[in-house]
């Protein structure tokens, strides 16, 4: 889809994976019924030309591999936003989207009246690209949103957020979606330790890969294909975790609880008895201080 690549090339070639995730989230609005993640910004943020092309033929993102990835993308976002709603109801007023890419939550924030402050954390180049996408789409940047540039491998989350005005004396809710597989275990754990150091009521939801040895043959084949696609665009998968060991690590570094959500649980919660057979193979961990 040439038009879908136009904005990437014009604005400096940031993450192609972020662009693909955004198009899958937009395709969900057109292809799937009922909608899991109701996102009126998903199509506009792609820009008028790309959105029009996707509307004309959304089925380009309906092959088996894209369907599975699309399901995982919308389920993990819905999970994170459900966790945020729980946190806001408990009094949390800071929300941080790590590795935000073209995430749209801040531009359709349902918690504005509660005074929610939002931070988008990503590479500076990706944030510059996103600003261009927003400008092209005519989407204003909310006053309660702050961009915090951070390179997880060469900088620290704590430093990046401090420079952006984040309050470590107040609790916060974090989402970290589609990122951990691209980072080293050391970088992942450093960021998780920072979240664990925050006040009670703080939490983080993130998805992660498991080792291939824990998957059945079909899942291994799908995982191999997705890994090859990521590597082909210069974004190789690096990390994978055993869910049991990961939960133990989270408790050891200071979280009071860690909820493991396997594919069966996520499908039961968000994709139960669908006529279209949409299923997610993703895994999510929610750790709370």
Instruction: Please list the pLDDT of the chain residue by residue as tens digits (289 residues).
Output: 333 343 443 444 567 889 999 999 999 999 999 999 999 999 999 999 999 999 999 999 898 888 989 999 999 999 999 999 999 999 999 999 999 999 999 999 999 999 999 999 999 999 999 999 999 999 999 999 999 998 877 778 999 999 999 999 999 999 999 999 999 999 999 999 999 999 999 999 999 999 877 777 877 777 777 777 777 777 788 899 999 999 999 999 999 999 999 999 999 999 999 988 899 999 999 999 9
Expressed in percent and rounded to 5, the helix, strand and coil fractions of the chain are 50, 10, 35
pLDDT for residue 9: 36
**Residues 178, 15: contact at Cβ < 8 Å?**
no
Q: What are phi and psi of 11, to 5 degrees?
A: -110, 15
Q: At what angle do helices 48-56 and 2-10 cross, to 10 degrees?
A: 160
Longest pairwise C-alpha distance within the chain: 50
Cβ(92)–Cβ(171) below 8 Å: yes
Provide the 8-state DSSP code for 183: S
Please tell me the CATH superfamily of domain 63-288, with its number: Vaccinia Virus protein VP39 (3.40.50.150)
Q: Distance between alpha carbon 207 and the CA centroid of its chain, in Å?
A: 8
Tell me what pLDDT residue 5 has. 40
Domain limits of the chain?
A: 63-288
- Tell me which DSSP letter residue 59 carries: G
Pair 23, 54: CB distance under 8 Å? yes
Please give the radius of gyration of the chain, using alpha carbons only, rounded to the nearest integer: 18
Which segments within 123-251 are labelled E, that is strand? 145-149, 173-176, 203-207
CA angle 171, 189, 198 (to 5 degrees): 15
What pLDDT is recorded for position 151? Answer: 82
CA 209 vs CA 20, 54, 135, 213: distances in Å: 18, 29, 34, 11
Stated pTM of the model: 0.91
Rounded distance, CA 123 to CA 93, Å?
24
For residue 120, the surrounding DSSP H or E stretch is strand 117-122
Asked whether 121 and 161 are in contact (CB, 8 A), the reply is: yes
190: three-class secondary structure by DSSP = helix
Task: Point out which residues pair with 148 in neighbouring strands.
Answer: 121
Distance CA 231, CA 76 (A): 22
CB 251 within 8 A of CB 258: yes
């Amino acid at each position: 889809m040439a038009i879908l690549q136009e904005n990437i090339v014009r604005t400096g070639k940031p993450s192609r994976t972020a662009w693909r995730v955004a198009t899958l989230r937009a395709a969900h609005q057109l292809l799937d019924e009922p909608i899991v993640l109701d996102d009126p910004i998903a199509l506009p943020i792609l820009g008028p030309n790309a959105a029009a092309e996707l509307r004309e033929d959304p089925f380009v993102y309906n092959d088996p591999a894209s369907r599975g990835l699309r399901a995982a993308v919308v389920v993990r976002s819905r999970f994170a936003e459900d966790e945020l709603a729980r946190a806001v109801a408990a009094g949390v007023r800071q929300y941080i989207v790590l590795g935000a890419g073209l995430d749209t939550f801040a531009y359709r924030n349902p918690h504005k009246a509660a005074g929610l402050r939002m931070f988008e954390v990503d590479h500076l180049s990706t944030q510059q690209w996103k600003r261009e996408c927003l400008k092209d789409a005519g989407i204003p940047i909310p006053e309660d949103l702050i961009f915090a540039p951070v390179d997880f491998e060469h900088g620290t989350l704590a430093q990046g957020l401090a420079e952006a005005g984040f309050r470590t004396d107040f609790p916060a809710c974090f989402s970290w979606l589609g990122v951990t597989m691209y980072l080293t275990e050391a970088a992942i754990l450093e960021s998780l330790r920072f979240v664990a150091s925050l006040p009670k009521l703080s939490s983080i939801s993130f998805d992660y890969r498991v080792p291939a040895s824990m998957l059945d043959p079909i899942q291994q084949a799908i995982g191999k294909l997705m890994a090859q696609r990521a590597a082909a665009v210069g974004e190789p998968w690096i990390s994978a975790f055993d869910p049991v060991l990961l939960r133990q690590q989270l408790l050891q570094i200071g979280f009071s609880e860690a909820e493991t959500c396997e594919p069966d649980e996520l499908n039961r919660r968000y994709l139960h008895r669908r006529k279209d057979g949409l299923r997610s193979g993703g895994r999510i961990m929610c750790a709370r201080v």
